[in-house]
Amino acid sequence: MGTRDIWIPPQWEPDEWEASGRFLQVVGRLAPGATVESAQREMSELGEQLLAEHPQRQAGWTVNVVALREQVVGDVSAMLLIVFGAVCLVLIIACANVASLLVTRSIERHQELSVRAALGANRGRLLRQLVLESAILSGAGGALGVGLASVGLRLLVASGPDIPRLDTVGLDGSIVLFAFLATAVTALFFGLAPAFRVVTVDAGSWLRERDASGRREVRRLRSTLVVVQTALSLMLLIGAGLLVRSLAARLEVGVGFDTGRLLTAEVELRGPAYDEAASRATFFR
């Protein structure tokens, strides 16, 4: 359609009006407080009035009010929600893995941080350092994710799947803002837990913990983290797999008939010769 600065509504002379004309597509804005159901009731009443005024021309015709989003995208929104759910589960898996790695790394660095605390570094400074490291790691992952999303989106559009208005899909400011917020929440939520654990343990007790029992406690904690990470990842992977399976099942739903070697066409009859339904039926026969 191109860019338009102003739209001028079409105008016809009274002698050009035809009650049988059905070539216009109408889009309306609901009044404040109105719903699709109330609009449907009002349009049904108008349809009954037209049927009473033009019984021959309006016979068999009804009025159906549909939301513009539903008309444009159809049932694709359900599939997109399934994909979004799978992506969220994968994101949680990645965050859980990173959190486990951060906790394990904090255990390895516990002695180093305890020495620094014993030398005078306050816990707030150590906490800021660990959170900053988590933020840098999350920020790098978020930037890489946005870059991969841009490349993947171009490949998706180029492949041309049957998705309405796919050519208008792109990365805008709201998507980048969402990625930034997700990155910030990930850094704070999954970075504060190991950092808080490090700074809440007494430095002197950690430095004195040199015996075999202390090393067994560390190994026990590592094993517990591995078990928790494996169980959580397995659960989330099963959920993501079920969502992908649901998406595949929706994509494989047939139309109810064999579409092979079939061609559809639309023919519109205009003019006074086809005003009556009988003349139009004769033409098609």
108 touches 152 (CB < 8 A): no
pLDDT band (50, 70, 90) for residue 195: low
Q: Is residue 159 in a domain?
A: yes
pLDDT band (50, 70, 90) for residue 160: low
pLDDT band (50, 70, 90) for residue 191: low
Q: Examine the pLDDT at 217 and tell me if it is beyond 70.
A: no
Q: Is residue 261 in a domain?
A: no
Helix (H, G, I), strand (E, B) or coil at 33: coil
User: Are residues 153 and 115 part of one domain?
Assistant: yes
User: Are residues 185 and 239 part of one domain?
Assistant: yes
Helix or strand (DSSP H, E) at 131: helix 123-159
Q: Is residue 79 in a domain?
A: yes
Q: Is residue 232 in a domain?
A: yes
pLDDT band (50, 70, 90) for residue 212: very low
Q: Is residue 18 in a domain?
A: no
User: Are residues 104 and 49 part of one domain?
Assistant: no
DSSP line for 222-260: HHHHHHHHHHHHHHHHHHHHHHHHHHHHHHT---SS--T
- The pLDDT value recorded for residue 127 is 76
Domain that holds residue 208: 75-251
Q: Is residue 239 in a domain?
A: yes
Q: Is residue 124 in a domain?
A: yes
Mean pLDDT of all residues belonging to the chain: 76
User: Are residues 57 and 157 part of one domain?
Assistant: no
User: Are residues 178 and 52 part of one domain?
Assistant: no
Q: Examine the pLDDT at 166 and tell me if it is beyond 60.
A: yes
Q: Is residue 285 in a domain?
A: no
- The pLDDT value recorded for residue 38 is 92
CB-based contacts of 93: which residues, under 8 Å, 6+ apart?
232, 233, 236, 237, 240
User: In the numeric block, which tokens belong to residue 233?
Assistant: 């990842």
- Count of the separate structural domains present in the chain: 2
User: Are residues 99 and 48 part of one domain?
Assistant: no
- The pLDDT value recorded for residue 222 is 66
CB-based contacts of 230: which residues, under 8 Å, 6+ apart?
none
**Per-residue pLDDT tens digits for 255-284:** 677 878 888 888 888 788 887 878 888 998
User: In the numeric block, which tokens belong to residue 2?
Assistant: 């191109």
User: Are residues 80 and 188 part of one domain?
Assistant: yes
